[in-house]
Amino acid sequence: MGDEVQARLEGLRAQLDHHNHCYHVLDAPEIADAEYDALFDELIALEAAHPEHITQDSPSRRVGAAPLAEFAAVTHEVAMLSLEKTATPEELNDWANRCRTRLGDEIMAFCCEPKIDGVAVALIYEHGRLAQAATRGDGRTGEDITANVRTIPAVPLRLRGDGVPTRFEVRGEVYIARRDFAAFNERAQQRGERTLVNPRNGAAGSLRQLDPKLTASRPLTIYCYSLGWVEGDWRPQTQMEALEWLAAWGLRTNPEATLVADLDACQDYIDDIAQRRGSLAYDIDGVVVKVNALDQQQRLGAVTRKPRWAVAYKYPAQEATTQVLGVEFQVGRTGAITPVAKLQPVFVGGVTVSNATLHNMDEVARLDLRIGDRVMVRRAGDVIPQVASVITEQRPADAPTIELPESCPACASPVVRPEGEAVARCSAAPTRCPAQRKEGLRHFASRLAMDIEGLGEKLIDQLVENGLVRTPADLYRLRDKNLSELPRMGEKSAHNLLDALQASKSTTLARFIYALGIHEVGEATAQSLANHFGGLDALCAATPEVLEVVPDVGPIVAEKVTAYFDDPDNRAVVEELVKAGVAWPAIEAAADSLPLAGQTWVLTGALKRMSRNEAKEKLTGLGAKVAGSVSGKTAQVVAGPGAGSKLAKAEQLAVPVMDEAGFMDFLSIHNAL
């Protein structure tokens, strides 16, 4: 009897896997829905009667497992990099030329496919079975969403066919098709339930549901677009070959993926997809172009957080016209006063837009914007909507002008506009302005900073408004008693937040520096500072001259970093955070050992073998600071054809000069090519 049950279960699972593949991957169903449902119901009944025979790759697992308490962190074995962006044929040609330079003018073919506006995920298969699924996260660390991804019908729980590697990672884009999005929202409206904002947000929110049953109720699907890594002997030669194998194993790949022979054909593909964009079944914001040969991809490598062998060609932003109803002024974490246009709601770029940033008062003046104006609003992907232009012909006769407020809308402190800056700012210190405090705390808790799960915008507002938190250090003084007094804060929620705060204490020096919110210090600069100094004490004591040696740090950034650590209030917060237990693994300061540490170089003229940005990256990687002007402290000038005043200044000051050939020899000697 047991063998018969086992055999029937295996037969049912094989049938359901086959029909699931036909329906969700091939879009070619072979049986009616009622017949599929009958097979599925039989499987559920048999597994309920014989739970000892349930397997993790059974189609029954797609209905969703038990709710999760939280998502576990997943470290990607190979980082999930972001793509360089281009928007014109000239920029695409520049990218291709950079590839040719590195490959020695080898012939390149390209693989092109639509850039779907969804959510990137990494799927790991072991012995042909789905073992793990993770979000991209910050590129190096994502979240374990295996239970949720198992509910997506287009993701095979067990691969089919022969030759499947023992263990490998495939990457794909989870999305909601336009038709499915509209149908889901229509059903939600009929039931009086909350609708999804747009397909991309719907996909992202669905993947991050703690209850997989909720994910299972959303119409998610996937297109797999590349390999991440492979264990075993199998090695495809090209991107297109890899896609063909993935499809043969039952993974859903985009039929629009096309191999093109040269850049002209690549541009033809981009133009063709642009014309058909509105008729595609899904939202896209461009085309991804990849060098097809995988050995060429490997030799091209990556720079910072982007592969050199792939590029995203972004289509022009989508636009719509609407009316400006008013302007509000928002206060950021650095005190910046940003005008925001309040709009008559309009649907553009896949969402309903009611606000658009105006950046600063210079932008308001450039647009000649007034309240009541008819405007063109532009949005692309996740970019914040912007007012692109004013239709002055439709301006009301009495349209009032927009004036910068004299006092901060959050704390009433005077608004100032520092000389030489376009941005007006609240003159109060962050500790004295509630808006700055809130934005600073949001930045501190954000994913790329301290990554404090559950510390969202509304909770930060409550903590600040109730006087419980003034600085980031105060977060680590919170206790159950403080939190339980807040509205809608239950015991479990309070406990979860305290656990998240405790977990966030274990971080990296780069994340900690970034979390402090120092003006002009982004994620990459924070990493450079961490790598250079190796510890917090050395960074705090650094002078502007020492800081300017660090890659990515110029005079302005050096001044901001010095000013931050010279401020007694800031130093006190940093010390309190360390006392609270925020810590990171020790790292060895590497900059002093680099061959060009402490030297300032200047690039001038045109370079034929690489772009100026690439040359700058090479030099900063060797420890040099690349300046924009020549002085007596300049160690070396690299002069290409067309060098002018900087070359003359170098000769006047007797600064050493090398041409491009000498520069390439220098980089070769230092293994920097």
pLDDT per position as a tens digit, 476-496: 999 988 888 888 788 888 899
430-504: CATH homologous superfamily?
Answer: 5' to 3' exonuclease, C-terminal subdomain (1.10.150.20)
- Model confidence band, residue 309 (pLDDT cutoffs 50, 70, 90): very high
Q: Mention every residue, 6+ apart, whose C-beta is less than 8 A from residue 428.
A: 335, 408, 411, 413, 436
- Geometric angle at alpha carbon 315, from 311 and 321, rounded to 5°: 150
How far apart are the C-alpha atoms of 289 and 114, rounded to whole Å?
9
The CATH T-level fold of domain 595-669 is Rossmann fold (3.40.50)
Minimum mean pLDDT among 256-260, 325-329, 346-350: which range? 346-350
Residue 26: what pLDDT?
64
Compute, in degrees rounded to 10, the torsion defined by CA atoms 290, 295, 299, 303: 40
Mean pLDDT over residues 387-397, rounded?
Answer: 89
Strand partners, 424: 337
Q: pTM of the entire structure? A: 0.53
How far apart are the C-alpha atoms of 141 and 74, rounded to whole Å?
6
Residue 571 in this model has a pLDDT that exceeds 80: yes
Domain boundaries, the chain: 2-63, 84-314, 318-394, 430-504, 509-591, 595-669
Handedness of CA 112, 114, 115, 118 (dihedral sign): negative
- Model confidence band, residue 369 (pLDDT cutoffs 50, 70, 90): very high
Strand partners, 81: none
Residue 65 in this model has a pLDDT that exceeds 60: no
How far apart are the C-alpha atoms of 64 and 67, rounded to whole Å?
8
Residue that is written with structure tokens 């449902």 in the block:
37
- Model confidence band, residue 293 (pLDDT cutoffs 50, 70, 90): very high
CB distance 222 to 163 below 8 Å:
no
Residue 511: what pLDDT?
93
Token reading at 334: 């650095």
CB distance 425 to 405 below 8 Å:
no
Mean pLDDT over residues 27-48, rounded?
Answer: 71
Tell me the per-residue pLDDT of 502-533, one tens digit each, with 9 for 90 and over: 999 999 999 999 999 998 898 878 888 988 88
Element (H, E) at 93: helix 89-103
Residue 378: what pLDDT?
80
Question: Which of the given ranges, 179-188, 309-318, 343-352, 450-459, has the highest pLDDT on average?
Answer: 450-459
- Geometric angle at alpha carbon 615, from 613 and 616, rounded to 5°: 65
Report the top-level CATH class of 318-394: mainly beta
509-591: CATH homologous superfamily?
Answer: 5' to 3' exonuclease, C-terminal subdomain (1.10.150.20)
Instruction: Count other C-beta atoms under 10 Å from residue 35's C-beta.
Output: 13
Active-site position among 85, 115, 560, 616 = 115
Residue 29 in this model has a pLDDT that exceeds 70: no
What CATH number is given for 2-63 in this structure?
A: 1.10.287.610
- Model confidence band, residue 380 (pLDDT cutoffs 50, 70, 90): low
Would you say how long the chain is, in residues? 673
Residue 620 in this model has a pLDDT that exceeds 80: no
Q: What b/e sequence results for 239-256 when a residue is b if at least 16 CB atoms lie within 10 Å of its CB, and e otherwise?
A: bbbbbebbbebbbbbbeb
- Model confidence band, residue 96 (pLDDT cutoffs 50, 70, 90): very high
Q: Do 430-504 and 509-591 come out as alike in CATH topology?
A: yes
Question: Which of the given ranges, 23-37, 383-397, 639-653, has the highest pLDDT on average?
Answer: 383-397
Strand partners, 657: 637
Packing angle, helices 89-103 and 263-276, rounded to 10: 150
How far apart are the C-alpha atoms of 68 and 212, rounded to whole Å?
8
Report the top-level CATH class of 84-314: alpha beta
Residue 305 in this model has a pLDDT that exceeds 80: no
Terminal CA-to-CA distance of the chain, rounded, Å? 68
Query: Mean pLDDT across the chain, nearest whole number?
Result: 86
- Model confidence band, residue 66 (pLDDT cutoffs 50, 70, 90): low
| Residue 213 designated active-site | no
Q: Mention every residue, 6+ apart, whose C-beta is less than 8 A from residue 607.
A: 615, 638, 640, 660, 663
Residue 461 in this model has a pLDDT that exceeds 80: yes
Minimum mean pLDDT among 132-146, 445-459, 614-628: which range? 614-628
- Model confidence band, residue 591 (pLDDT cutoffs 50, 70, 90): very low
Percent of the chain with pLDDT over 90: 44
Q: Mention every residue, 6+ apart, whose C-beta is less than 8 A from residue 673.
A: 618, 664, 667
- Model confidence band, residue 266 (pLDDT cutoffs 50, 70, 90): very high
Half-sphere exposure of 638 (CA within 13 A, CB side): 27
Which of 491, 161, 137, 554 is CA-nearest to residue 305? 137
- Model confidence band, residue 302 (pLDDT cutoffs 50, 70, 90): confident
Which of 215, 218, 235 is CA-nearest to residue 227? 235
SS3 state at 517: coil
- 235 dihedral zone (left: phi>0; alpha: psi -120 to 50; beta): beta
